[in-house]
Chains A and B, each alone.
Chain A
Amino acid sequence: MRPVIDMRGIHRIFETEAGFAHVLHDIDFTVDPGEFVAITGPSGSGKSTLMNILGCLDTPTSGTYLLTGLDVAELTDDELAEVRATQIGFVFQSFNLLPRMTVLENVMLPLAYTDCPRAERERRAVRALYSVALAVDHYDHRVNELSGGQMQRVAIARALVNDPAIILADEPTGNLDSHTGAMVLETLHALRRAGKTIVLITHDPGVAAQADRTVTIRDGRLYHEDERHGTKTRRRGVTSPAEITQVLGRRPIADAPDPGAGRPEADPSARRPLFAVPSPMGHPHRKTAAVLGGGALS
């Protein structure tokens, strides 16, 4: 059986003013269809970076990533958007529903970026909402009229609506109390029983334990369950140019100190901080500090 996710030798190196931040080291990771896998690890371990690559929001500096057999590392920005629209369903910690829209419209939104006709979009959105057991009389409500647990179920419905190959849930219970968190996890379990493939990212070992299988990421390296206490040596977050060249040497990228040459997502300009926004996380300098100090990167 072909895995849904097949990652081999994934490295992710960010170029910052202070040098290079080597956030992911040689990650091998596979997920089979219908699996419910948890990725766990402390803050700053590289969980979010891995999730961004898994979700095709970012591309690896080197390594191969086959999503349902498709090599996504080779795709253009538009092709990646298409992959996200059709293959991936995101569930975020902070729900990320659009407050101006109704529940139904939020769930329909991913289909607006496909060529799905409007009537069909509505039909599929209703079906997705039905499968997360949200009461029908809420469909026309604005999302900010809902409780946290309801919002997260709407978000799960939105992740489901395009029938993706994989559902990526990034700390889905992080903003919820334990009771509603348990309800959301139960929704994920129900989806898993229905045959969906789910990757759950969490720093909470209790939540991670709910999955079929748990992998741990620490300092940018992935440890599988049986080697969680393995002997791989700790690595610093910042790597010397020589090390990077060695990593990049596996891929034919012309200019080694520029880890992202020729690839849209890794384009240094694309990684510039957001304009005029005082975002501590958006500033490359701070990010380096976070990487160095093992701060709140994830």
Chain B
Amino acid sequence: MSLRDLIREALRSLEANRGRSLLTILGIVIGIAAVIAMTSLIGGVRNMLVEGLGLNAARAVYISPMYQMTQDDVDDLRRLMPEYELIEGSAYGYAQVSSDSGTVDVGITGANASYLSMTGQVRLAEGRLFTTQEETSGARVVILDRAGVQALFGSADASVVGKTVRLDNKDYTVVGIDESMPMTGSGSGSTYITVYMPLATVLTDFSGGYEYLSQVVGIAYEGVDIDALMETTKTQVAAVMGIPDDQIDEGVYVYSMKSQIDSMNGFMNSFSLIMGAVAGISLLVGGIGIMNMMLTNVTERIREIGVRRALGATRRDITSQFLVESSVVCVTGGIIGTVLGYLISWGLSIGASSLGLVSAMGGMEGASISPMISPEAIAAAVGLSIAIGLVFGFYPARRAARLDPVECLRYQ
């Protein structure tokens, strides 16, 4: 019998027992929906946590020298270490602004445009990053975030690009607005904000004459082994800065997010495993439902089996008839379950955001989970449901096929 005929007959016989078929499909829907909801939600949470660490955090190496490191050292390092896609220094400065509403403490990060964009520290809502010309000349330009706009201009929504901010009696032109969630703090009547300026500007205007970098960040190329890279980086930094071998460990501090990401991944994996087990159990229950339904179907249709055998159906024909039937139930359940599972994970993530669970899980304030749905997950769900249909349908189908046609025809 051709597959088309088999599917046609399967649909018809399922329709003949609509109530029973729908209940069985529901069992599979719940199982598949649970699997899909769990995997897409966990994928979404993982993405959120990784993003919370910062863009490209997995390939970032942070270098904090105990000795003064200059821009020249960084340039040397860039030449020596082709493993890095980007290696840039940053410096911090500080200023205070008095306004009507009180004192504003301004933390100034001096970093170039490539550093800000590669580390994901700045995501522009308006305006632009610094130009190369501004970076080399140390131009007095600044990027503010919303909290900064609020603190310095009185309203978070004010249009301030092109306006000037006065810090330490010097005027800085606002060139861009950062949309990323601000790290604000307020206490004892002062407000703390962070602003971004080109590295050269900070080194000139806020370093008090010491042109040393606070931190250097390297972003390794995709696929580079971070652990090994950290070791070579340490050696190279020591070489560039002339730190003797016996002082490397105290003199150069290198770290990466890799271990955090690894442990987070480990946690997420065991979390997925637990959730997967729960979802798997509901699938198992659904599968048992399939088997139960198919056994009833077989018992109800013993006479039909006898007739079909008398008309020339082989045992294999009977087996495939019942297997196709159980697979049709499972695939239908699988498709509905996939859609439902995605809707559930979407609903749960909205619920989690509104209940503040996201920040409780370590996400940035205001961050949201967007459930991940991949074509692989859908293919896996459909494949899984076919597999359930075949596995749990096999025993009833084989039972049907093994019946003696003579006994079947005699059965009333």
B405 CB–A CB distance under 8 Å: yes
What is the bound-complex CA distance between A98 and B406, given in angstroms? 17
A269 closest partner in B (C-beta): B402
- Residue of B299, B307, B311, B314 touching A277 (CB-CB under 8 A): B299
Within 8 A of B (CB), among A59-88: 77-78, 81-82, 84-86
Least CB distance, B312 to chain A, in whole angstroms: 2
Contact partners of A112 in chain B: CB under 8 A: 1-2, 5
Interface readout for B8-28 with A: 1 if CB under 8 Å, 0 if not?
Answer: 000011001000000000000
Choose from B312, B403, B409 the contact partner of A96 (Cβ within 8 Å). B409
Q: Binary interface profile of A, 105-133, with partner B (CB < 8 Å = 1, else 0)?
A: 00001101110001000000000000000
Verify B315–A77 contact, CB threshold 8 A. yes
Say whether A92 faces chain B, with CB atoms less than 8 Å apart: yes
Contact of B407 among A81, A109, A274 (CB under 8 A): A274
Q: A100-B12, A271-B404 are in contact. Are A282 and B410 (CB under 8 A)?
A: yes
Query: Which A-chain residue is minimally distant from B411 (CB atoms)?
Result: A279
- Minimum CB–CB distance from A106 to chain B (whole Å) comes to 10
Taking a contact as CB atoms under 8 Å apart, the answer to whether A98 and B304 are in contact is yes
Pair A109/B308 contact, Cβ less than 8 Å = yes
Indicate if A194 sits at the interface (CB-CB under 8 A): no
The verdict on A273 contacting chain B, using a C-beta distance below 8 Å, is yes
* Interface status of B330 (Cβ within 8 A of chain A): no
Verify B311–A84 contact, CB threshold 8 A.
Answer: yes
- CB-based contact B317/A58 at 8 Å: no
Whether the pair B406, A57 counts as a contact (CB closer than 8 A) is yes
A279:B412 contact, CB within 8 angstroms: yes
Among the listed A52, A85, A274, A279, which residue makes an inter-chain contact with B312, where contact means beta carbons less than 8 Å apart?
Answer: A85
A117 to chain B, nearest CB (A): 9
**Any B CB within 8 A of the CB of A242:** no
Q: Which residue of A lies closest to B402 (CB)?
A: A270
- Residue of A at shortest CB range from B314? A81
Q: Which residues of B lie under 8 Å from residue A52 when comparing CB positions? A: 406
Known A274-B403, A275-B399: A96·B307 in contact at CB below 8 Å:
yes
A110 to B309, CA, bound (A): 9
A1 within 8 A of B: no
A158 to B310, CA, bound (A): 12
Verify B302–A57 contact, CB threshold 8 A: no
Interface residues of A toward B: which range? 35 or more
A113 in contact with B314 (CB, 8 Å): yes
**Is the Cβ of B409 less than 8 Å from the Cβ of A277?**
no
Residues of A contacting B166 with CB < 8 Å? none
A113–B313 CB distance below 8 A: yes
Which chain B residues border A96 with CB–CB below 8 Å? 303, 306-307, 310, 409
Complex Cα spacing A281 to B307, Å: 17
Interface check B163, CB cutoff 8 A: no
**CB-based nearest B residue for A110:** B311
Contact with A along B381-412 (1 / 0, CB 8 A): 00000000000000000010011111111111
Contact (Cβ within 8 A) A98 B405? no
Tally of B interface residues using CB under 8 Å? 34
Is A78 in contact with B314, judged by CB distance below 8 angstroms? yes
Residues from chain A with a CB closer than 8 A to the CB of B403 are 274
Q: How far is the CA of A180 from the CA of B402 in the complex (A)?
A: 37
* Proximity bits, A240-280, B CB within 8 Å = 1, else 0: 00000000000000000000000001000011011111010
Q: In angstroms, how far is the closest chain B Cβ from the Cβ of A285?
A: 14
Set of chain A residues within 8 Å of B314, measured between Cβ atoms = 77-78, 81-82, 113
B124 smallest CB distance to A (angstroms): 63
Collect the chain B residues with CB atoms within 8 Å of residue A118's CB: 5
Bound: A113/B312 CA distance, A = 6
Chain A residues closer than 8 Å to B405, beta-carbon distance:
57
Given contacts A112-B5, A113-B1, A274-B302, contact A86 B409 (CB under 8 A): no
Contacts of B315 in A (CB 8 A): 77-78, 81
Chain B residues with CB below 8 A from A279, complex form:
407, 410-412
A277 CA to B412 CA, complexed, in Å: 10
Partner of A57, one of B12, B13, B409, B411: B409
Taking a contact as CB atoms closer than 8 A, the residue among A109, A275, A281 that contacts B311 in the complex is: A109
* B302 CB contacts on chain A under 8 angstroms: 274, 277
Residue of B nearest to A52 (CB): B406
Contacts of A223 in B (CB 8 A): none
Q: From A86, which residue of chain B is reached at the shortest CB distance?
A: B312
Q: A57-B309, A270-B402 are in contact. Are A113 and B317 (CB under 8 A)?
A: yes
Compute how far the CA of A78 lies from the CA of B319 in the bound complex, rounded to whole angstroms. Answer: 13
* A55 on interface, CB distance cutoff 8 Å: yes
Asked whether A81 lies within 8 Å of B313 as measured between CB atoms, the reply is: yes
Complex contact A85–B311 (CB within 8 A): yes
- Specify the chain A residue showing the minimal Cβ separation from B306: A96
A255 to chain B, nearest CB (A): 21
Given the interface pairs A98-B307, A100-B12, A100-B16, the reply to whether A273 lies near B407 with Cβ below 8 Å is yes
Residues of A within 8 A of B316 (CB): 78
- B409 and A92 form a contact (CB under 8 A): yes
A90 at the interface (CB under 8 A from B): yes
Residue in A closest to B4 when the chains form the complex, CB atoms: A118
Q: How far is the CA of A118 from the CA of B3 in the complex (A)?
A: 12
Q: How far is the CA of A98 from the CA of B317 in the complex (A)?
A: 16
Shortest C-beta distance, B16 to chain A (Å), equals: 5
Kindly name the residue among B5, B16, B309, B310 whose own CB sees the greatest number of chain A CB atoms within 10 A: B310
The contact sample of 12 A-B pairs, CB cut-off 8 A, is A52-B406, A55-B310, A81-B313, A98-B304, A109-B311, A110-B311, A112-B5, A162-B312, A270-B402, A271-B404, A274-B408, A281-B411
Closest 8 A-B residue pairs measured CB to CB?
A: A85-B312, A113-B312, A81-B314, A110-B311, A96-B307, A84-B312, A78-B314, A57-B405
Q: Which residues of B contact A (CB under 8 A)?
A: 1-2, 5, 12-13, 16, 299, 302-304, 306-317, 399, 402-412
A→B interface (CB under 8 Å): 48, 52, 55, 57-58, 77-78, 81-82, 84-86, 90, 92, 96, 98, 100-101, 109-110, 112-114, 118, 158, 162, 265, 270-271, 273-277, 279, 281-282
Known contacts A81-B309, A274-B403, A281-B411; can you find 14 more A-B pairs with CB under 8 A?
Answer: A57-B405, A57-B406, A57-B409, A77-B314, A77-B315, A78-B314, A78-B316, A85-B313, A96-B307, A96-B409, A98-B307, A100-B12, A109-B308, A113-B312
